């Protein structure tokens, strides 16, 4: 497949692209803190993706923490082919198929051997919005990336992105200096097992979350 060159014979890249693309990745150490703290700290950070079709970016407005001893965590019953990335290096992506149809993106936390991660549940679209609209078949901005399955479809993420290094690869999480306002901590969504904990975090005043 031909890689598209965005600087020759076409309009120059957006200023947004240049800005976001040059931002520093969150370091591996960021992902080595307590997983619940990482989930909270990821609110306001930016996901950037150099997709085959162009550059996309979105601000994280909703996350959930999954700990290794939590029955709702895929890793709680040991390593499998699907969840192996969770047991690998921190700062990597764990992408899995859910309900046979949708993909979910996680950021792996904790040292190798411990299966913990943060589910990225919703983004505020920032760049490459036209491509997200095409991928989703949906043009309302507040409904574009407002759910874990939705944002993966908007970005075009799938099994091939499982295990990517979020600090160096085409898929990164960066800090643009944005200061998150009030963050809500509530029960997670779609959990049927165990006693639930307030491990879902979202930007309180955001219009881009999956659910208030």
Partner DNA sequence: ACATCGATCTACT
Partner DNA sequence: GTAGATCGATGTA
In order, the DSSP letters of 86-138 are GGS-TTBEEEEEETTTEEEEEEE-SSTTS--EEEEEEEEEEE-HHHHHHHHT-
How far out from the chain centre does Cα 66 lie?
14
Using CB under 7 A as the binding rule, whether residue 110 contacts DNA is answered as no
How far, in Å, CA of 182 to CA of 206, rounded?
Answer: 10
Minimum CB separation of residue 70 from DNA in Å reads 9
Residue among 205, 76, 208, 51 nearest 134 (CA): 51
Size of the site for DNA (CB under 7 A): 39
Binding DNA by CB under 7 A: which of 19, 37, 69, 98?
98
How far, in Å, CA of 69 to CA of 192, rounded?
Answer: 15
Binding DNA by CB under 7 A: which of 3, 81, 179, 212?
81
**Interface region with DNA, contact rule CB under 7 A, candidates 10-18, 23-31, 40-48, 81-89:** 81-89
Using CB under 7 A as the binding rule, whether residue 141 contacts DNA is answered as no
Using CB under 7 A as the binding rule, whether residue 117 contacts DNA is answered as yes
Minimum CB separation of residue 25 from DNA in Å reads 21
Residue among 135, 140, 168, 178 nearest 44 (CA): 178
Ramachandran category for residue 151: left, alpha or beta (phi over 0 → left; psi -120 to 50 → alpha): alpha
Using CB under 7 A as the binding rule, whether residue 92 contacts DNA is answered as no
Using CB under 7 A as the binding rule, whether residue 72 contacts DNA is answered as yes
Using CB under 7 A as the binding rule, whether residue 88 contacts DNA is answered as no
Using CB under 7 A as the binding rule, whether residue 136 contacts DNA is answered as yes
C-alpha torsion sign, points 77, 165, 36, 159: negative
Minimum CB separation of residue 143 from DNA in Å reads 7
Binding DNA by CB under 7 A: which of 11, 190, 195, 212?
190
Residues lying near DNA in the complex (CB under 7 A): 64, 66, 72-75, 77-78, 80-83, 86, 94, 97-102, 104, 106, 117, 119, 136, 138, 143, 147-151, 188-193, 210
């Amino acid at each position: 497949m031909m890689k598209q060159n965005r600087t020759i014979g076409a309009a120059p890249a957006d200023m947004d692209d240049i800005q976001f693309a040059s931002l520093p990745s969150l370091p591996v150490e960021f992902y080595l803190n307590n997983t619940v703290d990482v989930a909270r700290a990821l609110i306001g950070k930016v996901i950037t993706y150099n997709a085959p079709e162009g550059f996309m970016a979105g601000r994280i407005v909703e996350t959930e923490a999954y700990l290794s001893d939590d029955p709702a965590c895929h890793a709680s019953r040991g390593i499998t082919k699907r969840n192996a990335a969770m047991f690998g290096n921190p700062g990597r992506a764990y992408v899995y198929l859910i309900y046979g149809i949708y993909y979910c993106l996680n950021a792996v936390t904790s040292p190798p051997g411990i299966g913990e991660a943060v589910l990225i549940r919703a983004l505020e679209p920032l760049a490459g919005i036209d491509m997200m609209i095409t991928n989703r078949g949906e043009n309302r901005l507040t409904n574009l990336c407002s759910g874990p399955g939705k944002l993966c479809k908007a970005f075009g993420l799938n099994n091939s992105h499982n295990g990517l290094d979020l600090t160096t690869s085409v898929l990164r999480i960066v800090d643009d200096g944005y200061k998150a306002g009030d963050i809500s901590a509530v029960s997670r969504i779609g959990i049927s097992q165990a006693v639930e904990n307030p491990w879902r975090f979202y930007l309180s005043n955001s219009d881009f979350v999956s659910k208030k």
